[in-house]
Amino acid sequence: MILAIETSCDDTCAAVLDGEGELLSNIISSQAELHDRYGGVVPEVASRQHLHLINTVIDETLSEADVALDEITLIAATEGPGLIGALLIGISTAKSLAAARKLPFVAVDHMLGHIAANFLLDDPVEPPFLCLVASGGHTLIAAVEDRSRYEVLGQSLDDAAGEAFDKGARMLGLPYPGGAELDRLAITGDPERFDFPVSMSGSDSLDFSYSGLKTSLVYKARDMGPEEVRRCRADLAASYQDAICAQLVSKSKKAIEQTGYSKLAVGGGVAANSVLRRQMNDLAEELGVRLFVPPIELCTDNAAMIASAARYLEEVPYPEYLDFDAFARK
């Protein structure tokens, strides 16, 4: 019986997963409203809010799972990458709980967690497979040969796809976090109205780049002026979103073609995007590969995916984990 904690950014999350891999509870307390007025996550505010919420979120997840703390046999927490202060709240809480009960502990890489969301599906993905992980801080394509590890085949050289969504949304006057808002606004827009560059599309590299796209939106908005931007907001959102997704899809296609994997999975907050989900479906059909897509609540940050990853990692017995630390980046 695993209790997992995830606090790498601005969601305070705890989940309980049983020995058969069945998810008993998955509590996510979003701080989005708190950060909205600043237009993005303020790390110090996030840390303090995690500290404020963490015990309540753990109590809630145990109670929803109808499991007593005494029944928990393994504690897991995200160790990184993420906001260091935020991570420290989660990992310190998890280590304290584990140490007080002399339970084993597992520290989980956040990106492996996003991949492991695909092990929670009714029909879970079995390695080997490729996984596109696109979140607010990272964009990468991983080869997964074994449930406990992944190899990065390509990654963003500058901004992450989620960052491109969030910054674009902010330029269009949408509230934070912008990705989901932009997704909603784009539904009524014309994705072919504006041309945005799709970086790196000509090369065989599996790396991504999003800073040029963001800059091109800045220039377009400047040339159009605020009144016209407001009038064309939905078309701008749809065209910009299409350019973000085009790169994710084309690199996934290249990765499948270069590696010959027959299964493709997705993960991370951007995998909640409606256009990306549809286009990845089309891609899988075109290439004749099987596609695995977690439900939206398992794409954005959650502790269920951390518990899922922990099932396949080596448990560290008490007290060997007491000096485990969080890390902001690898």
Which listed option, ligand KG4, Zn ion, none, makes contact with residue 242 (CB within 5 to 8 Å by class)?
Answer: none
∠ Cα 105 108 112 (to 5°): 150
Nearest distance, CB of residue 170 and ligand KG4, angstroms: 10
Nearest distance, CB of residue 12 and Zn ion, angstroms: 13
Q: Decide whether 135 or 156 has the Cβ nearer to Zn ion.
A: 135
300 is a site residue for ligand KG4 (CB under 6 A): yes
Give 235's contacts (C-beta < 8 A, 6+ positions apart): 189, 190, 193, 194
Smallest CA-to-CA distance from 307 within 70, 54, 67, 77 is with 77
The encoded tokens of residue 38 equal 């600043």
Instruction: Give φ, ψ of 210 to 5 degrees.
Output: -125, -5
The answer to whether the CB of 305 falls within 8 A of the CB of 21 is: no
Nearest distance, CB of residue 114 and ligand KG4, angstroms: 6
Instruction: Give φ, ψ of 153 to 5 degrees.
Output: -90, -25
State the number of binding residues for ligand KG4 (CB under 6 A).
19
Nearest distance, CB of residue 138 and Zn ion, angstroms: 8
Distance, in Å, from the CA atom of 233 to the CA atom of 242, rounded to the nearest integer, reads 14
Q: Decide whether 82 or 191 has the Cβ nearer to Zn ion.
A: 82
135 is a site residue for Zn ion (CB under 5 A): yes
- Binder among 109, 181, 207, 301 for Zn ion (CB under 5 A): 301
Using the CB atoms, write b or e for 152-171: b if 16+ within 10 Å. Answer: ebbbbeebbbbbbbbbbbbb
Instruction: Report helix angle 161-171 to 233-259, nearest 10.
Output: 170
Site for ligand KG4 in 254-283 (CB under 6 A): 268-270, 272-273
Segment near ligand KG4 (CB under 6 A), from 34-42, 176-184, 203-211, 226-234?
176-184
Site for ligand KG4 in 41-80 (CB under 6 A): none
Site for ligand KG4 in 129-168 (CB under 6 A): 135-137, 162, 165-166
Q: Decide whether 85 or 179 has the Cβ nearer to ligand KG4.
A: 179
Q: Residue 175 gets which letter from DSSP?
A: P
183 is a site residue for ligand KG4 (CB under 6 A): yes
Distance, in Å, from the CA atom of 234 to the CA atom of 315, rounded to the nearest integer, reads 49
- Binder among 104, 127, 179, 191 for ligand KG4 (CB under 6 A): 179
Residue nearest to Zn ion (CB): 135
Residues lying near ligand KG4 in the complex (CB under 6 A) are found at 9, 135-137, 162, 165-166, 177-180, 183, 268-270, 272-273, 300-301
Residues lying near Zn ion in the complex (CB under 5 A) are found at 135, 301
